[in-house]
Structure 1
């Protein structure tokens, strides 16, 4: 090796310009990924919290109602009114309600009945208003569009054919007597 080439390699090895750029290039994608994950997780948590709150408020109104039998659209409207952060709640929320026998209990079906924007609308699987002192099982299934559908958390969510993810909230209540 020639002397000038050795000197050039020695200077190159000792030169520290650009080291901050290299560190940034190596570390920045991880920080950005964590930020995107945190933002998406925050919105998923907020949607789930508001869905649970709306469902609880609707069940409270049904339980303490004046003895009138609740209808599907009334309960859905109460949930949507109390779930302020959920976009297009009326079209993306699906309810399922049925009575349950406490002596011979059977839970709701494992698969939730949700909407799918790509499919034509189908009727509600089951919505049976209960009678006084009857145990009722109620499930709300919400479809929503993730903020970052192709990034870390958004790509791991189970999406339907239109790209919407699912949130499910369940509750049980006993209708109070008149």
Structure 2
């Protein structure tokens, strides 16, 4: 009786049926996560490029239209009109603009987190600092957009995520000189 059970067990263990299935089960999660990570990285790069381009266009308009410096809300709307791939842009975009002295340079302050990326989901004023510059002053403008990850479980996304809701920050900076009015 024991001999027949052992013989049956040996015959089952010698079979090679399903060997490819084991390899498939081991490798598919790896390939799937690489695919999802590349799709997420591609979308993040696209959103970053659109945000950078829209900030450049807005800064160009500020520089060339002497006599009128747009308010924070006007500037946010102008940037969001160009950055169409950033979801809910007007609510997820925060701006900082302040004057820098090129002859007495001090470090630019660290990028603060975006308004919706703060801990405990507290509501935060999206305007950290927004100073209109005078003529011939060097101005520093930083735009920060908080964007939700599409695949939060992808390989690289845990490095970029800034809060528990799966959002990451896209930070773009630009420097320009106010034209004389």
* Shorter-chain TM-score tier: 0.7 to 0.9
CA deviation after TM superposition for structure 1 residue 151, in Å: 3.6
1:136 aligns with 2:139: yes
TM-score between the two structures when normalised by the length of structure 2: 0.86
Residue equivalent to 1:68: 68
Counterpart secondary structure, 2:179: coil
Given that residues 95 and 126 in structure 2 are in contact (C-alpha distance below 8 angstroms), is that contact kept between their aligned partners in structure 1? no
What's 1:110 paired with? 110
Q: Deviations over 1:25-64 (max 9, x none)?
A: 1111110110111111111111111111111111111111
Q: CA deviation at 1:70?
A: 2.5
CA contact (8 A) 2:63 2:179 kept: yes
Q: What TM-score does the superposition give when structure 1 sets the normalisation length?
A: 0.87
Shift of 1:177: 2.8
Pair 1:162–1:8, CA change in 2 (3 A): closer
Provide the residue aligned with 2:84 in structure 1: 84
| Paired residues for 1:148-167 under 5 Å | 148-160=151-163, 162-167=165-170
Work out whether residues 112 and 168 of structure 1, in 8 Å CA contact, stay in contact via their aligned partners in 2: no
**Which of the residues 133, 148, 152 maps onto 1:145?**
148
Equivalent pair of 1:145/1:165 in contact (CA under 8 Å): yes
Distance in 1 (alpha carbons) for counterparts of 2:161 and 2:9: 53
**Structure 2 residue runs without a partner (length 5+):** none
Q: CA deviation at 1:9?
A: 5.8
SS at match of 2:115: coil
Report SS of the residue matched to 2:20.
helix
Partner of 2:52: 52
User: Does the 8 Å CA contact 2:114/2:146 hold for their aligned counterparts?
Assistant: yes
Q: Matches of 2:37 and 2:7 in 1, distance apart?
A: 47
| Alpha-carbon separation, structure 1, partners of 2:63 and 2:124 | 30
Equivalent residues of 1:62, 1:70 under 8 A apart = yes
Unaligned ranges ≥5, structure 1: none
